[in-house]
Amino acid sequence: MSVINVGQAAVLGVVEGLTEFLPVSSTGHLKITEGLMGIPVDNDAVVGFSAVIQVGAIAAVFLYFFKDIVRICAAWGRGLVNKQERYHHDYKFAWWVIYATIPIVVVGLAAKPLIEGPLASLWVVAASLIVGSGVMWAADQMGRHKRGEDDTTFKDAMLVGSSQILALLFPGFSRSGATMSTALVLDLDRVAATRLSFFLGLPALTGAGIYELKDALGAGVGAAPLLVGTVISFVVAYGSIAWLLKYVAKHSFNAFVIYRIIIGVLLLGLLGGGAISS
């Protein structure tokens, strides 16, 4: 019997789609939801399921940014065969995304036992939600928001890409929150920071989903729950992406900071009171 049924998969798909790209921690929300539904958060199959349904959310990014991705990939392809094309920003940016993904891949493989073991605890999620909120607030205040997407450099990409490790090691910190905060500290404006977060997440999240697929299927999650969760996360994530880009164009990240603190404190209360298991 699957450790996650179709109904639970549908709920988790909605949670994943809503939170994957908002700076509120999709991993944290998934683990909280799993805990409330009595699903073991540190089970190998459950961890694999969470990674697989991320592919649905990341597919929404591919669709939403299809023209941008085609443009960047085309520039990269031209640059491989034509030296003159290698001065184009899109060609350089494609390489930067590749290079910036290497740190999280190395750490992810090396620290897999910790990530799927002790660090999967809901206590870690609660603490990371609260601490990450402080980091996000500070970054938004410190940033001068004066640089656009075309102003990004190799240094920006490497620093923002490497910051994804924080979310990998501390579920609840938020991959989007970590990358956007780092980009803001580097003085990118909020829209540029958000778009950079999307592009840098493409290879890491896609790779994680493909890597975990065998564990999810082999360890106790049926194909039907995986399919339902992935499709729903795709649909919901597409709407979430469109909303977020419009929101950050006119608002600060303060609403996300407040929300994260509230969720973190509530989670500590639920854990402390024994309402859910860590």
pLDDT digits (tens, 9 = 90+) for 176-219: 999 999 999 999 999 999 999 999 988 888 887 777 766 666 65
User: Which of 56, 49, 55, 57 shows the shortest CA–CA distance to 3?
Assistant: 49
Q: Name the residue among 144, 191, 173 with its Cα closest to residue 256.
A: 173
What's the pLDDT score for residue 12?
96
pLDDT band, very low/low/confident/very high, at 245 (cuts 50, 70, 90) = very high
Q: Where do we find the tokens 């639970």?
A: 8
Please give the Cα distance from 263 to 32 (Å, whole number).
10
171 pLDDT above the threshold of 80: yes
Mean pLDDT of 148-164: 94
Name residues whose C-beta falls within 8 Å of residue 100's C-beta, 6 or more positions apart in sequence.
Answer: 157, 158, 160, 161, 162, 200
* pLDDT confidence band for 275 (50 / 70 / 90): confident
- Considering the chain, what is the average pLDDT of its residues? 89
Question: CB neighbours of 223 closer than 8 A, spacing ≥ 6?
Answer: 217
The proportion of the chain whose per-residue pLDDT surpasses 70, expressed as a percent, equals 96
Could you tell me which residue, 240 or 4, shows the higher pLDDT?
240
Which of 198, 156, 149 minimizes the C-alpha distance to 175?
198
The lowest-confidence range among 63-72, 209-218, 233-242, 251-260 is: 209-218
What average pLDDT does this structure show over 120-135?
Answer: 91
pLDDT of residue 55: 84
pLDDT at 128: 94
DSSP letter, residue 86: G
Phi, psi of 163 (to 5 degrees): -65, -15
Contacts of 268 (CB under 8 A, 6+ apart): 126
Regarding pTM above 0.85, the answer is yes
Contact between residue 224 and residue 10 where contact means Cβ atoms under 8 Å apart: no
pLDDT band at 248 (very low <50, low <70, confident <90, very high): very high
